Chain A
Amino acid sequence: MADAPLLEFRQVSRFYGRGEAMIRALHRVDLSIRAVEFVSIMGPSGSGKSTSMNIIGGLDVPSSGEYLVQGIPTTNFTRTQLTLLRRHMLGFVFQGFNLLARTSAVENVELPLVYREMPPRERRKRALQALEQVGLKGREGHTTQELSGGQQQRVAIARAIVTDPAVLLADEPTGNLDTKTSREIMDLISRLNRDRGITVIMVTHEEDIAAYGKRLLRFVDGRLTSDEMRVREAEHVH
């Protein structure tokens, strides 16, 4: 399965509720994402973009169809297997940062390693390295409340990459940030994609943020309506 896509949707649908009140969040979506891609997902609210992210992230499962990771179907995965998938392959960055309150930056970054039962010394070393990579050297001991929004998102990114994930899932990563800070965060994410070869999948509703991606998916009413490679466009511009 060497040439299998990293992540693949086969006819994935997701319904909530039943009968008259049933909501169709995703409808027969086919999608495949290869390693080291930078994919932006856009669409109005209720279009299915967040549901797709949740399924990719192993936080939700399809009602029908198949979700494959490295060619392996996840259909019969238990809750524990989904957790292990997240733990070993995926890193999450959220709109609201989702750091633990009253906890220092380095402890937040260490958290995924704690659950991997890594020895404290190595854990600390790797967390400090990750913080350095996101440009927060010297702020390790600051608690969440003592950091600005941009800094908090950097801590969240450090937490996501500290486990060396194959995929970084970013759900509106700049949604709570001003324009300048948004640009800084997006530069950081682009760099991680380019330099460390981390596949990035990002949901956003801002065109200029989506433009950082090399591929753009658009969802409308639970269907994937467009899928374009922007690298070529960029080449045309040159």
Chain B
Amino acid sequence: MFIETAKLASRAISRNLLRSFLTVLGVVIGVAAVIAMVTIGNGTTAQVQAELSRLGTNTLFVRPGQLGPGRASTEAKRFEDRDVEAIRNQISGLRAVAPMNRGSATIIAGGENRSSSVIGTTNDYLIAQDWDLASGRTFLPGEERGQPACIVGETVRRELFGATDPVGQIIRVSNIACPVVGLLQAKGQSGMGDDQDDTVIMPLKLHQRRIGGTTTISSIILPAQDGVSTAKVQSDVEGLLRERRRIGIGRDDDFDVADMAQMAAAITGTTTLLTGLLGAVAAVSLLVGGIGIMNIMLVSVTERTREIGIRLAIGALEKQVLTQFLVEAVMLSIFGGVAGILAGLTLAYGAVGLLNVPFVASPSVILVAFLFSAAIGVIFGYFPARRAAQMNPIDALRHE
């Protein structure tokens, strides 16, 4: 009986193929939007989490101002060398204290030039980032005090030096002649999708003087030692910095100490909010799609009044007619759902390629989307189906 009903329904649908397609378009778009958004969101989250697990969750990032959803980075005072010294001397349980300033500059070597990210920091930065050298050495004490020296990333090497070994060569970074002392190991893309190997690292002092034109520091990276509570270190650092920056009791911090998990939460929090909003839009679109199905099913029931009359007269029970039209509506909406899932996955596949995040299709979301579209068929198909089932056979047979 079920096969019979399904056959009837698919015949009715294919009889008006274009109309059926247009009917389910709303559901297709709604489901596609949900699937695409969730898949892209999952990819972003997976990327951030991969980054997290690589860096470990016990690294703290100290920045001036407050960051996070709904909070603007205010023009808070940057850090000074003395702050870094104070952290180094007064906070225990840290593996490294890496102050850093970041900018971008044109790098020239031989006939080639390239705009890359330039980080001014200390050797601690490499410890904090677990970043090893492929060749050469780290900064000497004299260089840490400001003598020119550069460590280049893999992308910089490839683009500027090709096959030659960069160590021992001189590059120009914003008109600073800088001998290359080391080459970083290739690291790939970061959680935000930028190329971490397109980097030149130089001593902080050199960076401050010659590129930043400042004596301040924009952020400090603090990896905690293994087995040390990150929360404890975090509150110690916050306490110290509040004191140093003279923030009275009851006033908010004008700086931010966050671990990778909190950073990730801030990033994914934004994503979640966006996904939620788009999900709401998608839900509305599904609702509209459902109304479309109801509308066309009502038209279909009216068109087929006579047919319904015949079926009732020759012994179809109310519930059999109801089932027939319900199955038709559900079939329509499931077609829409499946088409939407395929469209959504295709869309997401293209988008993750552009965004440089992994493609993470979630089977549970696909299942939910499928069931949801079926449910739409049931909910919006019920009223027209009941109308068909409750027709008076005499009137229905007389209907032209």
Q: Which residues of A contact B (CB under 8 A)?
A: 54, 57, 59-60, 79-80, 83-84, 86-88, 92, 94, 98-102, 111-112, 114-117, 120, 159-160, 163
Contacts and interface: CB of A to CB of B under 8 A. Distances in A.
B399 to A, nearest CB: 11
B310 A117 contact: no
B313 A59 contact: yes
B163 interface: no
Contacts of A102: 15
Contacts of A100: 307, 310
A86 B1 contact: no
A69 to B, nearest CB: 15
Contact of A115 (B316, B394, B397): B316
B306 interface: yes
B313 A92 contact: yes
Interface residues of B, number: 19
Contact of A79 (B1, B4, B306, B318): B318
A54 B394 contact: yes
Q: Which 10 A-B pairs have the closest CB atoms?
A: A87-B315, A112-B314, A115-B316, A98-B310, A117-B1, A115-B315, A59-B394, A59-B393, A86-B315, A112-B315
A115 B313 contact: no
Contacts of A111: 310-311, 314
B317 interface: yes
Nearest to A112: B314
A152 to B, nearest CB: 13
Contacts, number: 54
Contact of A83 (B4, B306, B316): B316
Nearest to B392: A59
Interface in B249-307: 306-307
A103 to B, nearest CB: 9
A115 B320 contact: yes
Contacts of B320: 115
B4 A114 contact: yes
A83 B308 CA distance: 13
A80 B15 contact: no
Interface in B366-400: 393-394, 397
B329 interface: no
Contacts of A86: 313-315
B317 A83 contact: yes
Contacts of B128: none
A116 B315 CA distance: 8
Given A115-B320, A117-B1, A94 B315 contact: no
B397 A98 contact: yes
B24 to A, nearest CB: 22
Interface in B307-344: 307, 309-318, 320
17 contacts: A54-B394, A60-B394, A83-B317, A83-B318, A86-B313, A87-B314, A92-B314, A98-B310, A98-B313, A111-B310, A114-B1, A114-B4, A115-B316, A115-B317, A115-B320, A116-B315, A163-B315
A115 B324 CA distance: 11
B19 to A, nearest CB: 16
A163 B307 CA distance: 19
A203 to B, nearest CB: 14
A83 B394 contact: no
Contacts of B317: 80, 83-84, 115
A116 B1 CA distance: 9
A112 B4 CA distance: 13
A117 B394 CA distance: 24
B345 to A, nearest CB: 36
B267 to A, nearest CB: 58
Nearest to B310: A98
A98 B306 contact: yes
Nearest to B309: A98
- Max chain A CB contacts within 10 Å: which of B313, B314, B320? B314
B177 to A, nearest CB: 86
A53 to B, nearest CB: 10
Interface in B16-41: none
Nearest to B400: A96
B109 to A, nearest CB: 77
A101 to B, nearest CB: 8
A98 B317 CA distance: 18
B372 to A, nearest CB: 31
